[in-house]
Amino acid sequence: MGRRKLVVGNWKMNGLRAQLGEVEAIGGLARDHAAVEVGLCLPATLIAAADGVKGGAFIGAQDCHMKANGAHTGCLSAVMLAEAGASWTIVGHSERRQDQGETDADIAAKALAAKAAGLKVILCVGESLDVRDAGNAEAVVSAQLLASLPEGAASDWLAIAYEPIWAIGTGRIPTMEAVATMHAALRAALASRIGADADAMRILYGGSMNGDNAAELLAIADVDGGLIGGASLTAEKFAPVIAAAA
């Protein structure tokens, strides 16, 4: 199998320059655990400053626009984010899908724009509690993945993050069996589209992963890392997750 674990913090709308010391400390953790690929997707206001203190971690953005420039007030292109120092970006996070009404087609276009700008991409998918309770989670999320997958999707620039929407920030997570079943279903969906390269594509788990449950989640066969929210805001909380991945 041989997929290198990928552990990425998503700071969401958190972080001021006063928190750059945490970025530097997390960069040090990344240097100490070089077997794991570690990154921080920060508010755009911190990307350039963080690039200078990132140590062994990469710096990413939390979103990008699908156009390289133009009349899109308040938006940031992937080209701008790359110039600021980002090397990755998240697209399709459930908070963007829900709060900004982003469609699967929007997300596929954003992923392609990011690739064109030289960024690697974490593409997020996940189900609501209603879908989970109805027993349709694997089918719904697999369909969402295939509809969001950009042309030319490949493991050298794209990773997938499965985030059950109802688990984000709640402390509640699916059973380990449910996580394993979903990740296997997503791997199979990828194989139907991209063939053998699906085995190399990293599929991350997101949704209340923390130092207490990371080791168990990361031991699941098709879980290749984590997209971490609140537990990535400080080096102290992030350290046990990185150590578990190592």
Residues 6+ apart with CB under 8 A from 213: 173
AA identity, residue 71: A
CA 231 vs CA 116, 146, 164, 206: distances in Å: 31, 29, 17, 11
Q: Can you tell me whether residue 157 is helix, strand or coil? A: coil
55 is in an annotated binding site: no
The alpha carbon dihedral of 102, 107, 209, 173 has a sign of positive
163 is catalytic: yes
Active-site residue, from 65, 93, 102, 138: 93
169 is in an annotated binding site: yes
92 is in an annotated binding site: no
166 is in an annotated binding site: no
229 is in an annotated binding site: yes
Active-site residue, from 37, 127, 163, 183: 163
151 is catalytic: no
208 is in an annotated binding site: yes
CA dist 150 and 104 (Å) reads 10
Q: Which of 169, 175, 201, 179 is closest to 188 using CA atoms?
A: 201
Annotated binding site for substrate: 10-12, 169, 208, 229-230
Annotated binding site: 10-12, 169, 208, 229-230
Enzyme catalytic residues: 93, 163
